[in-house]
Structure 1
Amino acid sequence: MIITCPRCFSADDVRPPRRLPDQVLQYRCLNRVHGDHEWLTTRQAVQPLGTVEEGVTDELLDPLSRCVEPGDPFLEYGVVEHRLRTRYPDLFAAHVAEQGHSMFGPRPYTASSVRFGVALGRLERMGELVSEYGPATGAWRHNGQVTYWARTPTTDRLTWAAHCTQLGRSPEWTDNDRADLKQPPAADSTRC
C-alpha cells in the first residue's frame, strides 16, 4: 500500500504510521524541502482511500503531461489541475467521484494528492517534468507550500491566484467548481 503525503504529494518521505488509541493512525512525512507534516486517519480510511491501485494513474499520464506545455513557467499545482479539469472534464470528474477533492472540505487522500499528484511525480521520474516547491495560493493555501511544475527549470512562476486573475475567476472554490462533480461517501472518522 502506498501512503502519499497530502501536503507534498509524495510517498518517498512518509514514515510508517504510529498506532494511537481508537484505531487512529498517525503518519509523518519528513520531506526536507517541504518540511515535516503530520496527519491522523483511521485504518478503515487508509484501506479504501489511501491506496493507489496498480495502473490507476496510467490513464492520467498523457493528459497531465499535456497540461504542462513547453515554454510554461513553473505552474502552481492548482493551475495544472485546472487545466486537467477543463481539458479532460470526464476524466477529472471520474477520479474526483472515486477519490474526493478538497473543494468539498478537508479530507485526506483526495484525487489531488493520491492520483493527480502521484501521476505528476511519475512524469517527473520519467524525465518529462520538473518540480519545485513554492507558496500555495488561493484555495490551495491551506497546504502552505505546494509543488510547481514545468517542462524545464525556469525562474518564472504562475501561481493559482494569478492564473485565476487572468481568467477573471475567484481563487477560492466556488459552487461552479463543485457543479457536476460527485463526492464519494465520507470515510469513517478520518481526521487530517
Structure 2
Amino acid sequence: MIITCPRCFSADDVLPPRRLPDRLLQYRCVNQEHGDHEWFTTHEAVQLPGEVQEGVTDELLEPLNRCVDAGDPFVEYGIVEHRLRRQFPDLFAAHVADQGHSMFGSRAYTASSVRFGVALGRLERMGELVSEYGPATGAWRYNGQVTYWARATPSDRSRRSWAEYCAELGRSSEWTDDDRLGLRTP
C-alpha cells in the first residue's frame, strides 16, 4: 500500500513508518516545499483486510545492526536483544505488543524467535554480522542453544554469554519484573 502525505498529497518523500506501542504508526514526510510533516495512524488503517504484512523486519535491520559492537566477541542473543530494548525502547515494545515475548510465558513465534531472529539472519546474509551457535544461559537456557553474534569472527572465537553480561551489569540473568515493566503482549 502506498502512503501519501496529507499535506502535499505525494508519496515521494514519505519515510517508512516508525512503529510505536499500541499499534500506532508515525509517518513523516520530508518534502522540502512544505517542510517536515508528521502524522499518526493505526496499523489497521493502512493495511487492507487479509493483507499479509511484508517487510515487518525491515525496520529492525539498522537498529539491530547497531546492537552488535565492533570489537565484541561473539555475544549471546540475549545481549543483542537487551541492547535493542535499551537503545530503541519504542520499537522493541511495539514488536513485543504485536508478537509477544517468552518472558511472559512459553509461547511459539514470539518477537524474539521470529522477528528479531529473522532480522539478525538477514543482516548475516547481507554480510554485516556473523553468527554461531552456543550454549543458552540464564533466562534463555530453555532453548538449550542460541545464536551468538559478532561483526566479524573473533580471532580467538571468544564468547560473552548472557549470564556473564548480566553479572557485569549487576542484574539477574533471569526475567525480572523490571524486564516486564512497560511491555504488554497480544
Q: Provide the TM-score with structure 2 as the length reference.
A: 0.71
The 2-side partners of 1:89 and 1:164 are apart by 19
Q: Which has the higher contact order (CA 8 A, sep 6+)?
A: 1
Q: Which amino acid aligns with 1:161?
A: A
1:109-148 aligned at under 5 Å gives the runs 109-148=109-148
Corresponding residue number in structure 2 for 1:16: none
Residue 89 (structure 1) aligned with residue 89 (structure 2): yes
The 1-side partners of 2:59 and 2:174 are apart by 28
> Where do 5+ consecutive residues of structure 2 fail to align?
1-51
User: Number of residues paired by the alignment?
Assistant: 133
The 1-side partners of 2:108 and 2:66 are apart by 27
Corresponding residue number in structure 2 for 1:182: 184
Identity %: 77
The 2-side partners of 1:64 and 1:175 are apart by 24
Larger Rg: 2
Residue 170 (structure 1) aligned with residue 149 (structure 2): no
Q: Which amino acid aligns with 1:119?
A: A
Q: Which amino acid aligns with 2:174?
A: E
Query: Aligned to 1:131, what secondary structure does the other structure show?
Result: strand
1:145-164 aligned at under 5 Å gives the runs 145-154=145-154, 155-164=157-166
Deviation >4 Å, runs of 4+: none
Corresponding residue number in structure 2 for 1:57: 57
Q: Provide the TM-score with structure 1 as the length reference.
A: 0.68
For the aligned residues, what is the CA RMSD? 0.9
The 1-side partners of 2:178 and 2:151 are apart by 30
Query: Aligned to 2:153, what secondary structure does the other structure show?
Result: coil
Measured against aligned partners, the alpha-carbon deviations of 1:72-112 in whole angstroms (never above 9, x if no partner) come to 11010000000000000000000000000000000000000
1:31-50 aligned at under 5 Å gives the runs none
Measured against aligned partners, the alpha-carbon deviations of 1:53-75 in whole angstroms (never above 9, x if no partner) come to 31100000000000001101101
